Amino acid sequence: MSLVRSVCLFITFLSYLAISVHGQATARPGAGSGTRVGFYSTTCPTAETIVRNAVTAGFNSNPRIAPGILRMHFHDCFVLGCDGSILISGANTEQTARSNVNLRGFDIIDNAKTQLEAACPGVVSCADILALAARDSVVLTRGISWQVPTGRRDGRVSLASNANNLPGAGDSVAVQQQKFSDVRLSTRELVVLVGGHTIGQAGCGAFRNRLYNSTTGPADPTIDPTLLAQLQTQCPQNGDASVRVDLDTGSGTTFDTSYYNNLGRGRGVLQSDQVLWSDPATRPIVQQLMSPRSTFNAEFARAMVRMSNIGVLTGANGEIRRVCSAIN
């Protein structure tokens, strides 16, 4: 074989390897992601119980930590993959990004980690704790349970600048589709996962422009008049932007399909939510999920497993942090 051909074959192999590694970073579960159900069954058999008990204790003290932890997991996975980087504190970390400053539930994750380090030192990753805690948060709000594949390792990079492209409250359907497509999630998975807003809240600042300064007039005409009056009372034009409002009005603490029914009645609080009803690309999906035979819970569980395998670090990659808020 000539030297030139050998070099060409080697370059081709490197290109193939790069494509394979890139594909694995956001692979489908079971397609080489490296996680599996029961990863800690021998190395730390009480891991899931310890996490569940920590989340339950936190929830009993403050039920609002459930949507906070679920949102935290979303935000972690959409920035460099599900590697627990959202948990790292400090200047210019992901926590300091504008979209993350109101996240809550960090103390619950820290509590679980402290207990796990006492029971199984250096075994369970912070990324896995967060994935398990997100599932437990859904269960505590009367949603479905599912088996969480584990085996993630923790990332060492956390930069606020990496969190600039998270899905936003004013995003159109097209923008949301692109952001979900970037992490290999489909339009249907987009609509299903955003259904997590059934237990979510948002600060008045995230949607006040719809109440007083819409591009089509004084208020967004797609908002149900009764809801508009309610939101204007909760969020005065010059009031506190941090005051929080349920995204699923009338059922904000229960994991159910009420969120989708509200969209059909013009009662979506965020612009990014309400456009799921007005856009023909997503409206049929919303209609299916709000029907009496809705498969929302089962679809949400499957989509969460898919999302929780975005860009995971496994094997010799990453680390197992001793403290979730700081790299080793």
Please choose, from the candidates 119, 147, 105, 144, the residue with its C-alpha nearest in 3D space to the C-alpha of residue 294: 144
Q: What is the pLDDT of residue 215?
A: 65
d(CA 155, CA 153): 7
Q: Would the annotation count 81 as a binding residue?
A: yes
Per the annotation, does 22 bind a ligand? no
Give the fold, CATH level 3, of 46-200+247-308. Answer: Peroxidase; domain 1 (1.10.520)
Given the residues 75, 152, 153, 306, select the one marked as catalytic. 75
Spatial CB neighbours of 311, under 8 Å, sequence gap ≥ 6: 25, 26, 77, 80, 81, 82, 83, 183
Residue 22 annotated in active site: no
117 labeled part of a ligand binding site: no
Cα separation values, 13 from 6, 7, 10, 17, 20, Å? 11, 10, 5, 6, 10
pTM of the model: 0.88
Mean pLDDT by 10 residues, the chain (328 residues): 42 35 32 80 98 98 97 97 98 95 95 98 98 98 98 97 94 98 97 97 95 78 96 95 96 97 98 98 98 95 98 96 94
pLDDT of residue 25: 32
Question: Using H for helix, E for strand and C for coil, what is the string for 150-177?
Answer: ECCEECCCCCHHHHCCCCCCCCCHHHHH
79 labelled binding-site residue: yes
76 belongs to an annotated ligand binding site: yes
**Residue 21: its pLDDT value, please?**
34
Model pLDDT, residue 33: 64
**What angle, 0 to 180 degrees and rounded to 10, lies between the N-to-C axes of helices 47-61 and 106-119?**
150
Give the β-pairing of 201-203 and 244-246.
Answer: antiparallel
**In this structure, what token pair is assigned to residue 327?**
């790299």
pLDDT of residue 213: 76
Q: Which of 158, 55, 183 is nearest to 100 (CA)?
A: 158
pLDDT of residue 218: 83
